[in-house]
């Protein structure tokens, strides 16, 4: 299996499908690159080189004890891009992966980047603070941490059967297979890594990173996202990134890589072909 190795010897697994201008896909918590498989297949079939990696501590990458933070995730992404010598890259980040993309641009710039896409993404800043009063209360994230320590397997079941895919909404019909895939990927992550990543995606302030965006950017978000509410995520990011385009999926939950897989793939291809 292909890996790149970081400066601290962590091995980052990646899938490299298709040929053409590169697209790099960053996944959400507590998932892996497998969560991108529908879009990765569509992009590779549509004439692009689609690359999806497992964040350190997740999927098939090294479960390091340290480095479970956004700066390190962004530096690992830079290692992947530099090692493969990717240029004119389109960075696509889902949920926590959107934070990874934002921090990459904040720390490494856009010399190798042509476009960016944030999907149900955690930027600009999830946590409710004095200077971010519209954010999500810390008790929500404390609940995730408590659930992770008490019964991580059941926590992932509850998320998949509830808010992540909107399965707790009347009329929802998300297959057992999709929910099982969330659970399987979650348990593949390291316990310590997934636990610390909760702070990474919730308490990292990406506002200055978004100010550094100087490339065409598409923001996609569902207006029934119960994990990263639209006003906290997509709306706030699109308002902060100069020239960004916001596309709202009516009635869509957080996990649109599965619930709206074809619509998302079509929108990504349209945006990619606009460059």
Active site residues: 95, 225, 254
DSSP the chain: --EEE-TT--EEEEEEESSSSEEEEE--TT--GGGGHHHHHHHHHTT-EEEEEPPTTSTTS---SS--SHHHHHHHHHHHHHHTT--SEEEEEETHHHHHHHHHHHHH-STTEEEEEEES---S--B-BTTBTTSB-HHHHHHHHHHHHHHHHHHHHHHHHTTTTTTTSTT----HHHHHHHHHHHHHS-HHHHHHHHHHHHS---HHHHHT--S-EEEEEETT-SSS-TTTTHHHHHHHSTT-EEEEETT--S-HHHHTHHHHHHHHHHHHHT-
Tokens for 14, please give them: 């990646």
How far is Cα 114 from Cα 156, in angstroms, rounded to an integer? 35
């Amino acid at each position: 299996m292909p890996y790149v190795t970081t400066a601290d010897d962590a091995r980052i697994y990646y899938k490299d499908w298709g040929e053409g201008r590169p697209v790099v896909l960053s996944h959400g918590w507590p998932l892996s690159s497998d969560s991108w498989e529908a879009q990765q297949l569509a992009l590779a079939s549509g004439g692009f080189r689609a690359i999806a990696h497992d964040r350190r501590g997740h999927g098939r990458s090294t479960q390091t004890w340290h480095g479970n933070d956004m700066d390190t995730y962004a530096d690992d992404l830079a290692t992947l891009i530099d090692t493969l010598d990717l240029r004119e890259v389109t960075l696509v980040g889902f949920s926590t992966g959107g934070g990874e993309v934002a921090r990459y641009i904040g720390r490494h710039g856009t010399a190798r980047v042509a476009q960016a896409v944030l999907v149900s993404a955690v930027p600009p800043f999830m946590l409710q603070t004095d200077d971010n009063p519209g954010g999500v209360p810390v008790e929500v994230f404390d609940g995730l941490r408590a659930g992770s320590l008490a019964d991580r397997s059941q926590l992932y079941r509850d998320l998949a059967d509830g808010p992540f895919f909107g399965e707790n909404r009347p009329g929802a019909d998300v297959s057992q297979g999709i929910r099982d895939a969330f659970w399987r990927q979650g348990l593949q992550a390291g316990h310590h890594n997934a636990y610390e990543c909760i702070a990474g995606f919730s308490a990292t302030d990406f506002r200055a990173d978004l100010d550094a965006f100087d490339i065409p950017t598409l923001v996609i978000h569902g207006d029934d996202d119960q994990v990263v509410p639209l006003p906290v995520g997509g709306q706030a990011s699109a308002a902060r990134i100069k020239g960004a385009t916001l596309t709202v999926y009516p009635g869509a939950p957080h996990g649109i890589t599965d619930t709206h897989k074809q619509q998302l793939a079509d929108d990504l291809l349209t945006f990619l072909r606009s460059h």
